[in-house]
Amino acid sequence: MNTGPAAGSQRRFPSGAEYAEALQHTQLCFHHPELRGARPELTGLGLPRPISGAFASVFSLTSPSSGRRYAVKCFTRHVPDQERRYEAISTRLALLDPAELSQPWNLGFEYLPDAISVGRERYPVLKMEWAEAVTLSSWLDDNHADRIAVDRLADRFEELTRDLANHQIAHGDLQHGNLLVASDDTLRLVDYDGMYVPALAGLGGTERGHRNYQSPLRGNDDFGVDIDRFSAWVIFLSLKAIASEPALWSRLHEPSGEFLLLTEDDFTSPAGSARLQTLLTHPDRMVSGLADQVRTLACQPLDMLPPLTLAVPRQRQAATVITDNAVHSGAAAAGTGGLPGWMAGHVTSTVSPPQPAPSVVSPDRFQVRTLLDVVVAVVWPLMLAVTVLALVVGLSTVPFGPAVPVLAAAAFSVFGRARRIERAQKRAVLSGLTAELDQLDDPAKAERKLRKDRAKLDAAETKRTADHPREQSKLTASYHGELQQIEKRRIRKRQELDKKIAGLSAERGKELRTALAARQSAYVRDRLGRQLIAQNPPYGIGPKLAARLAAAGVRTAADFTGCRTVHNAHNNSVGAQLVLSNGRRIDVQGIGETKAIALDAWRRQLVAAAEAGQPTALTAQERHSIDQGIEVRRSRLTAELRSVDAAAEASRTKAQKELEDGQARLTRENTLAGERARRQRQEFSRRAVTLQQVSARHAALTSAVETAEAHRRRLSLTRYLRFPYTGR
């Protein structure tokens, strides 16, 4: 049975349904003594009931040996360094002294590397204590109207976050589903997959947490003691708001909603959030102050967020609930650095103080009358009198028309109004405000660009986090493919060499037979070479023919191998040719068919006699020489066989080195990319803070310009004509 793939590959894990199928037979799928044969909690269809999450499915199992109930987490996705993480978390939690904790929020667990069999593979599980408690959202469904209980729970939640901070621990995914409320209204913390402890410093995070509880600026690589701070503020705000006004649970929460009072959209677009606006304008100063703090923190980097513990005094007189009279006492006052006033002295502001709103100090009415104003006051009655006189005496033609005095008075009034210092002051103020407003970037345009840049980074980071394990898997697959090719080449070469080594025995026999045949052939040739035709002629061969044969090169029985009959078509006769030992054919005068046959028969008799006396075995020296040659070849082939394994091992080592170098390169590139993304997010955070300040300044300047315009309209010509007489 397999227990996992080679190091470096991303393992495929079963689905929740596959685990549920395996858990129908716990006596077969488990090896752990407490879990073997355990009874799972079943659905109405009789199947094990799963509680599914992003990375795992949790099943309730009751041990047959101890009778204890456990929550068994079965992982459905690959988690980098999973065993190392759980060992570090388990070690850190084991060091906690229960007497130093505000409540027994931590649950014991045991990581079992190869505990469950699904199909032909074994997979790890997490065996946890079963908590008799309900989720925070379920508890609020039943208890939101109990203001004292909710307020007390908010305080206990703050104490839980204080415990975590004091021990340099961060949960990583604080949300309604991971906070359980026991029967005594104390909290239990579950799901430690993304937990941070000091021993894990330097590793990346395994998850980003529930989106409705996390800062918009939290990235995939954020992993440290500060990752819970934003979600802690969100949960604390929700509980305090419900304690102040229980009806908010019905107004802002949705049945079965994956949030308490606020969602991800409320953090990313606070200006258009009706939920957040409800809390910002709440009459309870603490609620509105907390809401303002959450809105402010949503655009700040995680490492700049203050812990929740700084906002709540360490010593509490008692768990109190705001009374109705206190609820309507007023809205939250603004504190230093943009923080709510009620937090002053508890939280250090991370935002630079906003610039003071521009004030329109120029007058909105005419004030002290001057000599010119007095002249204007005198000119109008005088000019009106002249006009009446002109009408009476009939001076109505140009240039003494009745309108001329009135126009002159009007022109003089316009001149007098233009000389008023209030007009000059108003123009200067309006010009200054407009110039400053023109220098500011358009906040809406800047916000759209910031959103676009963030979306682009998020898309790139999502792609990077998906590509990294894919590239690792590709690298590992290439490594395993190379190992397979190396093994194929090794096996093929070994088979070739084994075949050659196995064939050495047959080759030895062949060489022995060949050597014996060569020795016998040499013996026969030697014996035939000793038989001279002239000394022992065959029948019918006299000295004369023997001499002719010798002249043709046939002196002994070894000089020819036989004869061939030749038909002469020219004279219709039959002759004969002798075949020499080199294969050449010759004609010898006087050697016809009959004598050639006699010579061949003579030779055959000699060959038979020689073969009868030829050696039947090799000498010991000859055999030793052949055996020595075979052993030399055997040694060479055996050395080649050993070199095949050595070459294969060298190739495997090279492939392993290339894999490790490739993995190191991918890790290095991924780390650098994560660092670049972190710096870019910090830059986005700074831009967001600046944008928030610019937006506030832009709104203040716009309001000041509108006020200045209204003041300028009050310095109209009509008001000026009235001013010399009334002084207003």
pLDDT tens figures, 86-129: 889 988 998 999 999 999 998 888 889 888 999 889 999 999 88
Q: How far apart are CA 211 and CA 192, in angstroms?
A: 17
Q: Tell me the pLDDT of the chain averaged across its residues.
A: 83
Q: How far apart are CA 236 and CA 187, in angstroms?
A: 13
Q: How far apart are CA 425 and CA 441, in angstroms?
A: 27
Q: Structure pTM?
A: 0.52
pLDDT tens figures, 419-472: 676 777 777 777 787 888 788 778 888 888 888 888 888 888 888 888 888 888
CATH topology of domain 16-129: Phosphorylase Kinase; domain 1 (3.30.200)
Q: How far apart are CA 722 and CA 714, in angstroms?
A: 12
CATH 1.10.510.10 boundaries in the chain: 134-343
Classified as helix, coil or strand, 180 is strand
Buried-state track 457-475, b at ≥16 Cβ within 10 A, e below 16:
beeebeebbeebeebbbeb
Q: In the chain, what is the straight-line distance between the N-terminal and C-terminal CA atoms, in Å?
A: 100
pLDDT tens figures, 2-26: 544 444 456 789 998 999 999 999 9
pLDDT tens figures, 462-514: 888 888 888 888 998 999 999 999 999 999 999 999 999 999 999 999 999 99
- Residue whose tokens read 């080679």: 6
Mean pLDDT, residues 157-174 taken together: 94
> Is it the case that residue 318 has pLDDT exceeding 60?
no
Query: Mind giving me the DSSP string for 317-347?
Result: S------HHHHTT-PPPB-GGGSBGGGTTTS
Contact between residue 285 and residue 329 where contact means Cβ atoms under 8 Å apart: yes
> Which one of 1.10.10.10, 1.10.510.10, 1.20.1240.10, 1.20.1250.20 gives the CATH number of domain 134-343?
1.10.510.10
CA-closest candidate to residue 416, choices 384, 361, 369, 382: 369
pLDDT tens figures, 194-250: 899 999 888 877 788 899 999 988 877 788 899 999 999 999 999 999 999 999 999
Query: Mind giving me the DSSP string for 557-615?
Result: GGGEEEEEEEEETTTTEEEEEEEETTS-EE--TT-BHHHHHHHHHHHHHHHHHHHHTS-
Rg value, the chain, Cα: 54
CATH 3.30.200 boundaries in the chain: 16-129
Q: Give strand pairing partners of 189.
A: 179
